Structure 1
Amino acid sequence: MAETTARPRIAIAGMAIESSTFSPHRAGERDFQRVEGDELTGRYDAIRNGELTDRAEWLPVYYARSIPGGAVLPEVYESIKQRICDGLAALLADGGTLDGLFFDIHGAMSVVGLDDAEGDLITAIRDVIGPDVVVSASMDLHGNVSRTLIENVDLITCYRLAPHEDTWETRDRAIRNLVEALESGTTPHRAWVRVPILLPGEKTSTRVEPAKSLYARIPEIEARQGVTDAAIWIGYAWADEPRCHATVVVTGVDEAATAAAAEELGQAFWAVRDDFEFVGPPGTLDDAVVAGLAATDTPYFISDSGDNPGAGGTGDVTWTLAQLLQKPELTADDAPVTLCASVFDKGALDLLRTHAIGDEVSLEVGARIDSGPHGPVRVDAVLHSLHEGDVDAGGVAVLRKGGLHIVVTEFRKAYHAITDFTSIGLDPASAQIVVTKIGYLEPELYAAMRGWTLALTPGGVDQDLERLGHHRILRPMHPFDAFDSTPDLSAEIVR
């Protein structure tokens, strides 16, 4: 471990995106938001105004983040990796020292041509900073922990809630673990258990059993003597890579205690593998629409789960929209209000900008990236409203056909918050049905809904994993394969 001072020097860097390898979308330059300087250190409450502010010298390097999507273009990944490595090298130039690195990642990034993007990134970083700088990583529980990643970080943790209401708490915990390790002069080791389970997030939400109880075990384990942190990764189901599987990692200074705890959690996970069910009532889109129209307490939410941009879907699959347009009970002039968000299509926005609000328009929208489930859809409707300047969506148009209000955006955007709708003049509370590309409902939408169907629709994040056709994951894997006996769930100590 690097020699520390009374005030350790800690760098901050990372890159985050959740990438579906089943999605034809490719994440490019525009998809990533870049953060550096004071803006980067200011992201973290524990540093900004917490107890860790004065316990280290904080050295912001570079952080890039994208909403989920497809695999990252190689040239975009390489440019961000180089920016991070160059920034770290600059800190070490002319005799500069570095004690720690907070590595802020998602953990399910795919890059065209790579099998383990985060493993590649941390390896490049280690080439710059050397083996003695203490690295602490914060991850999404839907990330993947590869052998390369676990060998190159010293401390690692992930979210304990899905939906992820503890995102910032987790980052602060990873930072705190790093500071305490540097102050104590003792770097914990890792007890790593690979669990051969691969399930979608919609079946593993901590709102419901068995994930609720599984994750509830963590605080007691973390409180044990010699244990620093305990983490369970569900893994990311919509990438077809060897590292895609569930994982348990327990970090601590007591090798026996960490190994025992990791095996305990791994065995507990395996024991409930057949108990995982969808967090929301699943059903077909037709079933969902029938239920939504019959609902007397509204709004009724329908998750267009197969094309959820929040999990890696392209956001332009038109299969659901095509079905809705064929339903006169939604498109008649006297039909109740249904909101449908969204489909992105830059060409459609360019055309709609030539029209006035209230014009009758006829155009094809969507399926420019992912046309697998359905091609572009012809929409004959009224231009209800037009908006500019959304930081994610760019231009936004609302097309109205009877009661159906269709949101078309210039660029990819997930409609996962109430303000996403109200900012364009649509009020979910006044709608009969709200259809949005999402899986489990984010907390704000969950609180607003009065009924809900998780519609099992097609797309790059299809809930039917076998329909997607994984062929590169390590087998056997539950639920793809039957197991005649319990797999090896022994912990491997990584020092």
Structure 2
Amino acid sequence: MSHARRILVGQLWHEGHSFNPVATVREDVSIVEGEAMLRGARESRTSLSGIVAVCDALGDTCVPTLAARARPGGPIEEPVFQEIADALVEAAAKGGYDAICLDLHGATLAAETGDTEGVLLTRIRDVVGPDMPIAVALDLHGHITPAMLDAATIVTGYRTNPHQDIFETGERAMRLLDGVLRGRAVGEAPPCAVATRLPFITRGNDETDQGPLVALGAMADRWRAHPAIVDVSVFNVQPFLDLPGMGQVVVAYDDGSGAAMDACREIAEQLWADRTAFQQQLPSVEEAFEIARHSEEVLALGDQGDRVIGAGPGDSPFIAAKALELAPDLRVATGIFDPEAVKAAHAAGVGATLDLGVGASINTGLDPLRATWTVTSLAPARFRNQGPYMHGVEADFGPAAVLVCGNVSVVVTTRAPNIHDPAFYDALGIAVAEQDIVVARAANHYKLSFRDCARCITVDTPGLTAFRPQDLPFTCARPFYPLDDVAWSFDTAATVHRRGA
């Protein structure tokens, strides 16, 4: 009887934004190691959780390394990334396991390293040798590079946006790895990959349950049902990365029959044909106010222009300012990154009145929201997500304060508030049910966790995560559509195709 397999597992999750000047520092990164890492995975719903769950179900032993997580934002300070990468590579170099399964984002960005996942996986491949099976679970918005595909045996991405299958993607990565191990035991070759990049970025209209991705997803599903196809992923890329080779990527794996080439071609050509459809017209904040006035439901407004979940800084006071100006009758709650306002509130104390401007220290083209505020609460913005998106994962946005002016409540935080779960407001004593409007620092994923307590509407707002690429100083990533008149056709000679280790 064969021995129980040992699977080295780890996680690095951060989504970067090349134009967000606020660096992700060591204090922003949660690192959990050893058995505590596995315990946390079993109590949450990340891709690492799915990996561990399948290992447990198969009777395999998880060999823990570390789980490093940071909210989306500016580039990780280079020494911090190198510290995490060194730890993962050192663990891989020790040996004593049969395969590796990792939960990576795919769009992690460091100050001096753009292709962080490619660098990390290459370093791991260098120490484990060419024959070690490596499977990776990735975000649908990963920046997929040749280095990543060359180093990993197989990569697989989320299939939904909003991301409802994060846990399931981890499960799939581990089951694909199990298939590689079983195939190797009987002398089968590992999967053969074909990948192609399309030089364009989306500008919204990229949810998978509506718009052009519905038909594209159905096409991918038909190929996944093909007996020779091992897996197919379509990566829509984080559109705020100024990196070489940035764009949509289709990756298909087959059994060596050549079917992956056909799958990759058909999906990529349809994706390119649909490129003009990935543009969304969102309602204005003023229109949302009118909806709120005539609705019996609480409205959760996704702040498109300053999405922390899209790696924005979270300092925009735009919706709060519009509420004070145009809708003083509506009860509105939001969160704004402003460490100086937090300091002032803590120095003054609960009940104090402060005249100060809030927010707009990073997003250009916005002004601080100056008003007379009453400090109503001082508390840490720390909680565990209660909704289905990233369920059970701890969020910590540091010391915070609630400032109130009229019917507007602003939670000022010392770290960018990645608001996609009602638990954020609960942690600060703001009852969502008692508001007319609550703001989410997200455009898609908040819908999963707010849908049971609010009507979700994403609104058109300014900021670093607005889908206005013409306003951002892209250099390395160009040329790409829609900023450039760029041609593309499927070329097998220019397509990455390789046989896994």
TM-score normalised by length of structure 2: 0.88
For 1:292 and 1:396, the matched residues in 2 are separated by 30
The correspondence of residues 297-336 of structure 1 with structure 2, limited to 5 A, is: 297-325=296-324, 327=325, 329-330=327-328, 335-336=329-330
For 1:443 and 1:47, the matched residues in 2 are separated by 22
TM-superposition CA deviations, 1:440-492 (whole Å, max 9, x none):
2431224433362x3332222121112213222142x2222345x65235454
1:23 maps to 2:20: yes
Counterpart of 2:67 (choices 40, 63, 66) is: 63
The correspondence of residues 7-406 of structure 1 with structure 2, limited to 5 A, is: 7-42=4-39, 43=41, 44-45=48-49, 48-50=52-54, 52-89=56-93, 91-92=94-95, 97-185=96-184, 186-200=189-203, 202-278=204-280, 282-289=282-289, 291-325=290-324, 327=325, 329-330=327-328, 335-339=329-333, 341-368=334-361, 370-388=362-380, 390=382, 391-406=395-410
For 2:54 and 2:195, the matched residues in 1 are separated by 31
Match of 1:86, as an amino acid? E
The 8 Å contact of residues 54 and 171 in structure 2, kept in 1 or not, is answered as no
Change (3 A) 1:420 1:17: same
- State the Cα distance separating 1:63 from its structure 2 match: 2.3
- State the Cα distance separating 1:284 from its structure 2 match: 3.4
Match of 2:138, as an amino acid? M
Match of 1:479, as an amino acid? P
The 8 Å contact of residues 366 and 377 in structure 1, kept in 2 or not, is answered as yes
| 3-state SS, counterpart of residue 170 of structure 1 | helix
The 8 Å contact of residues 320 and 332 in structure 2, kept in 1 or not, is answered as no
Greater mean alpha carbon deviation, residues 109-118 or residues 132-141: 109-118
1:457 maps to 2:461: yes
Where structure 1 has 5 or more consecutive residues not aligned to the other structure, the ranges are: none
For 1:353 and 1:311, the matched residues in 2 are separated by 29
Change (3 A) 1:193 1:87: same
- State the Cα distance separating 1:173 from its structure 2 match: 0.5
For 1:389 and 1:13, the matched residues in 2 are separated by 27
Change (3 A) 1:187 1:474: farther
1:445 is aligned to 450
- State the Cα distance separating 1:35 from its structure 2 match: 2.3
Change (3 A) 1:419 1:406: same
For 2:279 and 2:210, the matched residues in 1 are separated by 9
For 1:217 and 1:194, the matched residues in 2 are separated by 18
| 3-state SS, counterpart of residue 388 of structure 1 | strand
For 1:466 and 1:62, the matched residues in 2 are separated by 39
Greater mean alpha carbon deviation, residues 219-228 or residues 239-248: 219-228
Identity, in percent, stands at 25
| 3-state SS, counterpart of residue 442 of structure 1 | helix
Match of 1:428, as an amino acid? V
For 1:344 and 1:16, the matched residues in 2 are separated by 21
The 8 Å contact of residues 255 and 493 in structure 1, kept in 2 or not, is answered as no
1:421 is aligned to 425
For 2:401 and 2:191, the matched residues in 1 are separated by 53
The 8 Å contact of residues 56 and 179 in structure 1, kept in 2 or not, is answered as no
- State the Cα distance separating 1:192 from its structure 2 match: 0.8
TM-score normalised by length of structure 1: 0.89
Number of paired residues? 473
| 3-state SS, counterpart of residue 282 of structure 1 | coil
Greater mean alpha carbon deviation, residues 170-179 or residues 80-89: 80-89
Match of 1:121, as an amino acid? L
Where structure 2 has 5 or more consecutive residues not aligned to the other structure, the ranges are: 42-47, 383-394
| 3-state SS, counterpart of residue 462 of structure 1 | coil
| 3-state SS, counterpart of residue 27 of structure 1 | coil
For 1:380 and 1:36, the matched residues in 2 are separated by 45
| 3-state SS, counterpart of residue 206 of structure 1 | coil
| 3-state SS, counterpart of residue 240 of structure 1 | coil
